[in-house]
Structure 1
Amino acid sequence: MSASAAAVLQARNTLGEGVLWCQREQALYWTDIHAATLWRFRPRDARVEQWTMPERLACLALCEAEGWLLLGLASRLAFFHPASGTLAPIAPVEPGLPTRLNDGACDRQGRFVFGTLHEPPAGGARQPVGGFWRLNADLSLERLELPGVAISNSVAFSPDGRTLYFCDSPSRTIQCCAYGDRCGPPRTFAQVDDPRGEPDGSAVDAAGNLWNAQWGLGRVACYTADGRLDQCIDVPASQPTRPAFGGADLAMLYITSARDGLDAAALASQPSAGALFAAPAGTIGLPEPRFAGTPPRLSAHPGGTAAGALHSASGEAHP
């Protein structure tokens, strides 16, 4: 079975990523990593807002604390309050290593699990020197006992929170493991057999299916809980990056995408590359877990800095 996604916002993101749905605001958040920009889009009135970050923004999470986000910047974690522009640092990640943060998501207990990727010198090959980490509610940071990765991706959790999904994208293999305070031994969950593609970001629906954006293949693949390929949603851009369930009933699948690395011919053939896409999922998603840690009080601004904000009443949005 196959369906097709359509562009709902011609965002022209260089590397759109990290999309998630905020039920409180009925809005989507995501990042354009290379543009160091946080995006927010409200489908009901097509309102678009953007915030410029002091460095590349790789991933993000909603917070239990009203009005706050948790940001995975290239080199560090930080809280961000969009309404005030306050950015409050939490901790650096892998200082001294040639890595940056990449994919991440909150577990069902409200802890933020994320990975890093290797940034080699020009002309160099990526090596599995990155890792997977967890930011706990008390803001302590721990490295998970998982293999090293060149490009971390596909961080997602089963509905009961007892299984962690993840991947090293160049391996073209999505893995999973038993998850709790510790991680069990990894095992293969699904393999992307087409050598043109790699697994990117993932989301899990209420039935326990894993939906994975597949870079290079222009699709989001849905795998059942036992790893069987069930269906695909075609995306009219070759580089989809991450899906998220959204809408009032969590029945719409939103998908970010990228223009990064596409030559002129490829961009001409896929003019919506870098757009935000959507398709009816035919299933129901789960509410996005929120980070349980406590941000600083706005009145204190401890160590906080201001992020720049750009606001537009509407963008190139389509129903």
Structure 2
Amino acid sequence: MSIEAQSVLSVGATLGEGPVWVARDAALWFVDIKEHRIHRFDPAGGDARHWTAPAQVGWILPTDDGLFAVGLQTGVHRFDPADGSFVLLHAPEAALPGNRQNDATVAPDGAIWFGSMDDGEAQESGRFYRLYKGLCADSGLPSVSITNGPAVSTDGRTLYHTDTLGKRIWRSSLSEDGAVQETGLFVEIEDGAGYPDGPTMDAEGCLWTGLYGGWTARRYDPAGKMMQEVRFPVSNITKIAFGGPDLRTAYATTARKGLDMTALTAQPLAGDLFAFDPGVAGVPGTIATI
């Protein structure tokens, strides 16, 4: 069955990223990294708001204090939408001012897993971190230029992490305390199909990834076999999130970054928020314990 995504919110994001459904306010939150913006979209009422962050913002996730954790270039901050304030919690890469944060997820145990990257997209300085109950630790995974994800399986024992420029999604086993153990290749994206961006798990244990420059999002089964491909009218698909009251609507952030005027003319919806019917439910979101 052919599925094509439709634009549901015109934002024209330079680099839309990090969509997450927040059940406590029945809204989708996401960011525009390059424009320093945090977005909130209420699909039922159609209301859309945004806040300006003090630096490039890679991700936003709900926390157990009723607020949010956000990954700014300067570190992980607590964000309060009521007054738009940002309070620094951790600065794991204070000595790497050329790096920024890029993507994140909450594991079933409430830990935040997030990645960094070289903002110039050249140096292999991107790392993955785990933040849980006040402790922020390096995962020990190898450095890459552009990290994406991670995503964590529903049982909390498998970590999927992306080397975007290397076109590979890796899979690592996790111990009960979140330590990374054995790592192996999960999927390698073929030439001409774009670059794997943010990964997301669905309720059947399958992984979805946006393909930057590939015009599609894909679904892979636990063995790494492609099961489904969703076509978009724009080329740069960054990440999928499942939302709505039954978690059966897939939302996707997209980007205008890297598109010249000819491409932007051909892709007037580039940077918008899209939605489609994935034919499967997502996983209820976990609130982060920071």
Give yes or no for TM over 0.5. Answer: yes
Alignment partner, residue 77 of structure 2: 78
Alignment partner, residue 221 of structure 2: 224
Q: How does 1:1-319 map to 2 (within 5 A)?
A: 1-66=1-66, 68-97=67-96, 98-120=98-120, 126-137=122-133, 139-180=134-175, 181-195=178-192, 197-293=194-290
How far does the alpha carbon of each residue in 1:262-311 deviate from its partner, in whole angstroms, 9 at most, with x for none?
01111111110000000011001011221112xxxxxxxxxxxxxxxxxx
- 3-state SS in 2 of match to 1:266: helix
Amino acid of the residue matched to residue 48 of structure 1? A
What is the alpha-carbon distance in structure 2 between the residues aligned to residue 216 and residue 250 of structure 1?
27
- 3-state SS in 2 of match to 1:102: strand
**Structure 1 portions without partners, runs of 5+:** 294-319
What is the alpha-carbon distance in structure 1 between the residues aligned to residue 118 and residue 87 of structure 2?
25
**Structure 2 portions without partners, runs of 5+:** none
What is the alpha-carbon distance in structure 2 between the residues aligned to residue 136 and residue 18 of structure 1?
19
What is the alpha-carbon distance in structure 1 between the residues aligned to residue 20 and residue 207 of structure 2?
15
8 Å CA contact 1:154–1:174 kept in 2: the answer is no
Q: CA deviation at 1:232?
A: 0.7
- 3-state SS in 2 of match to 1:268: helix
Q: CA deviation at 1:12?
A: 0.5
Q: Quick check: which has more Rg, 1 or 2? A: 1
Q: What TM-score results when the alignment is normalised by the length of structure 2?
A: 0.96
What is the alpha-carbon distance in structure 2 between the residues aligned to residue 194 and residue 248 of structure 1?
38
Moved over 3 A (4+): none
What is the alpha-carbon distance in structure 2 between the residues aligned to residue 176 and residue 149 of structure 1?
15
Q: CA deviation at 1:63?
A: 1.0
8 Å CA contact 1:154–1:212 kept in 2: the answer is no
What is the alpha-carbon distance in structure 1 between the residues aligned to residue 54 and residue 106 of structure 2?
23
What is the alpha-carbon distance in structure 2 between the residues aligned to residue 286 and residue 107 of structure 1?
11
Q: CA deviation at 1:196?
A: 5.1
8 Å CA contact 2:241–2:250 kept in 1: the answer is yes
Q: What TM-score results when the alignment is normalised by the length of structure 1?
A: 0.88
Q: CA deviation at 1:194?
A: 2.5
8 Å CA contact 1:22–1:62 kept in 2: the answer is yes
Q: CA deviation at 1:244?
A: 0.1
Q: CA deviation at 1:140?
A: 1.4
How far does the alpha carbon of each residue in 1:60-115 deviate from its partner, in whole angstroms, 9 at most, with x for none?
2111222x010000120111110132322101121222211111111111111111
Q: CA deviation at 1:237?
A: 0.8
8 Å CA contact 1:116–1:149 kept in 2: the answer is no
CA RMSD of aligned residues (A): 1.2
Amino acid of the residue matched to residue 82 of structure 2? A
What is the alpha-carbon distance in structure 2 between the residues aligned to residue 186 and residue 126 of structure 1?
24
How far does the alpha carbon of each residue in 1:46-65 deviate from its partner, in whole angstroms, 9 at most, with x for none?
10111001111111211122
Q: CA deviation at 1:154?
A: 2.9
- 3-state SS in 2 of match to 1:29: strand
Q: CA deviation at 1:254?
A: 0.1
Aligned identity (percent) is 34
